[in-house]
């Protein structure tokens, strides 16, 4: 590698990180709140979209206002709402977030929910939320603040005989199965007392507004946190097909396996009856931010930097290795036409974990798989970044990492075996040693992942 190529690669590393961080900054949750709602005295004015007229909600006319906030962005969303609520409006609420704040609002019960696996406080938060919601009547208005990660941070089995230990094993098995997030959440809906619309069902007469950060494709909004406030559109036949496709029943703990095997076909009826229809009739739903906002912000920044930008989300929910092969093939075809290219791909890839995975996550797994392809183009300025908007990649402290045409050679020079690191899902130590991890810390946001492929040539 010449010194000129090394300089170009360093520049592309910096540019890729700049695009990622600028996209994160553009998706500020407070700004999203201001685009979608504001308050006039004690009235809530909603702006669902630019194509619709604002909707006024006389919040001051309700005797009670509840807030249920859960997911990776629960704290950020809760604080944004509390900062904007009129002082005259007194609230009670439950918040289940990755961590509890140093300064607490005494009207809110805070829980540190587990992720990616539920913990004891996930159970406690779900019980507290259901208890509060059952107090809601016609004189109550409820804000649901929902973000990705909520499936684990607010959880309670429908069958009270299923223990926390079994619930953790259930979630762990689903995550490691290689199933898509939509498939995983379909199964979760039939397991949980708070998913598949059951939070809304707990307060059927109250007026409800769900404000959502979508960590799923917009066509699958019902999959955010496993659809706690929307009617379940899935069928039990679909759930059974997923259980069979990934041979999940045999991997579940005995109590969970017995629960699914004993479920009657009409199990979904409870979320489709008259009571459910009443609950949903009193529910409004706004998407504050989505993965589309994230990738479009990255596009805008890359265009400012003079790149020809192409967005290709075809491989959303694909296996990481298949996604890497597909995107790199497209990347090489496009860069032959465009001397300054940025290929963007949003969404998530899947990883089927082995028995004893190491330290890493799907983004670093994707980046290392891509590094083997890039190694064939030594001397050329090519870079691949893959990172998560939540700042967390699997069980690692990184959001993701960057690979280039020298990654494999540098890893071997540091006495790493890249093939073994990939096979053992132990990618974070390798990228950390190379100084190529993306470290943001938890961002308080969750808009899925972003892959940035950059190429320049004279």
Whole-number pLDDT of residue 26:
95
Whole-number pLDDT of residue 275:
59
Mean pLDDT over the full length of the chain: 92
Query: In a 3-state reduction of DSSP, which class is residue 334?
Result: helix
Residue (of 218, 213, 189) closest to 201 by Cα position: 189
How far CA 336 is from CA of 13, 16, 268, 340, in Å, comes to 21, 20, 52, 10
**Cα–Cα distance measured from residue 224 to residue 232, given in angstroms and rounded to the nearest whole number:** 12
Q: How many CB atoms lie within 10 A of CB 419?
A: 11
Token pair 């045999």 is at which residue? 250
**pTM of the predicted structure, to 2 decimals:** 0.85
Q: 60 is written with which tokens?
A: 């001051």
Q: What angle do CA 276, 281, 287 make, to 5 degrees?
A: 105
Q: Where are the beta strands (DSSP E) in 290-377?
A: 308-311, 340-347
Whole-number pLDDT of residue 171:
96
**Cα–Cα distance measured from residue 450 to residue 192, given in angstroms and rounded to the nearest whole number:** 30
How far CA 433 is from CA of 14, 21, 412, in Å, comes to 18, 22, 11
**Cα–Cα distance measured from residue 326 to residue 334, given in angstroms and rounded to the nearest whole number:** 12
Token pair 């036949």 is at which residue? 237
Whole-number pLDDT of residue 352:
85
User: Which residues of the chain are modeled with pLDDT < 50?
Assistant: 269
Query: In a 3-state reduction of DSSP, which class is residue 359?
Result: coil
User: Taking a C-beta distance cutoff of 8 angstroms, is the pair 217, 389 a contact?
Assistant: no
Please give the full DSSP string across 50-106, using - where no structure is assigned: TTS--EEE-GGG-SEEEEEEESTTHHHHHHHHHHHS-TT--EEEEEEESS--SS--T
Paired residues of 387 in beta bridges: 400, 450
Distance of CA 293 to the CA centre of its chain: 14
DSSP 187: H
User: Taking a C-beta distance cutoff of 8 angstroms, is the pair 381, 458 a contact?
Assistant: no
Q: 196 is written with which tokens?
A: 């598949």
Looking only at the bridges linking them, the beta strands covering 308-311 and 340-347 are: parallel
Q: What angle do CA 395, 367, 409 make, to 5 degrees?
A: 115
């Amino acid at each position: 590698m010449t010194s000129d190529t090394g300089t170009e690669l360093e520049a592309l590393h910096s540019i890729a990180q700049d695009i990622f961080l600028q996209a994160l900054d553009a998706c500020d949750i407070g700004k999203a709140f201001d685009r979608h709602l504001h308050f006039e005295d004690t009235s809530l004015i909603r702006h669902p979209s630019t194509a619709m007229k604002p909707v006024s909600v006389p919040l001051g006319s309700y005797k009670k206002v509840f807030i249920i906030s859960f997911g990776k962005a629960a704290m950020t969303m809760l604080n944004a709402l509390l900062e904007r609520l009129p002082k005259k409006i007194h609230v009670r609420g439950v918040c289940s977030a990755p961590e509890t704040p140093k300064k607490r609002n005494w009207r809110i019960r805070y829980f540190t929910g587990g992720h990616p696996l539920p913990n004891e406080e996930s159970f406690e938060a779900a019980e507290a939320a259901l208890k509060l919601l059952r107090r809601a009547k016609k004189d109550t208005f409820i804000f649901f603040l929902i973000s990705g990660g909520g499936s684990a941070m607010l959880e309670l089995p429908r069958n009270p005989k299923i223990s926390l230990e079994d619930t953790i094993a259930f979630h762990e098995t689903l995550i490691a199965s290689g199933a898509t997030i939509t498939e995983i959440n379909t199964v979760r809906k039939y397991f949980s007392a708070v998913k598949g619309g059951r939070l809304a069902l707990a307060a059927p007469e109250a007026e409800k507004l769900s404000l959502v950060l979508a960590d799923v494709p917009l066509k699958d909004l019902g999959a955010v946190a496993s659809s706690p406030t929307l009617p379940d559109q899935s069928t039990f036949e679909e759930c059974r097909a997923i259980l069979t496709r990934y041979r999940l029943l045999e991997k579940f703990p005995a109590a969970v396996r017995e629960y699914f095997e004993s479920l009657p076909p009409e199990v979904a009826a409870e979320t489709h009856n008259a009571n459910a229809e009443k609950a949903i009739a009193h529910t409004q739903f706004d998407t504050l931010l989505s993965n589309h906002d994230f990738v479009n912000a990255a596009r805008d920044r890359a265009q400012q930097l003079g790149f020809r930008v192409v967005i290709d989300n075809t491989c959303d929910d694909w296996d990481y290795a298949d996604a890497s092969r597909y995107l790199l093939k497209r990347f090489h075809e496009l860069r032959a036409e465009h001397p300054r290219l940025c290929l963007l791909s949003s969404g998530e890839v899947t990883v089927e974990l082995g028995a004893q995975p190491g330290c890493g996550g799907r983004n670093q797994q994707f980046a290392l798989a891509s590094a083997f392809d890039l190694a064939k183009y030594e001397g050329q300025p090519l870079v691949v970044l893959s990172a998560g908007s939540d700042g967390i990649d699997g069980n690692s402290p990184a959001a993701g990492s960057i690979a280039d045409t020298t990654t494999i050679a540098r890893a071997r020079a540091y006495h790493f075996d890249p093939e073994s690191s990939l096979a053992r899902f132990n990618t974070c130590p390798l990228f950390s040693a190379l100084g190529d991890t993306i470290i943001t810390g938890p961002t308080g946001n969750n808009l899925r992942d972003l892959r940035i492929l950059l190429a320049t040539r004279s």
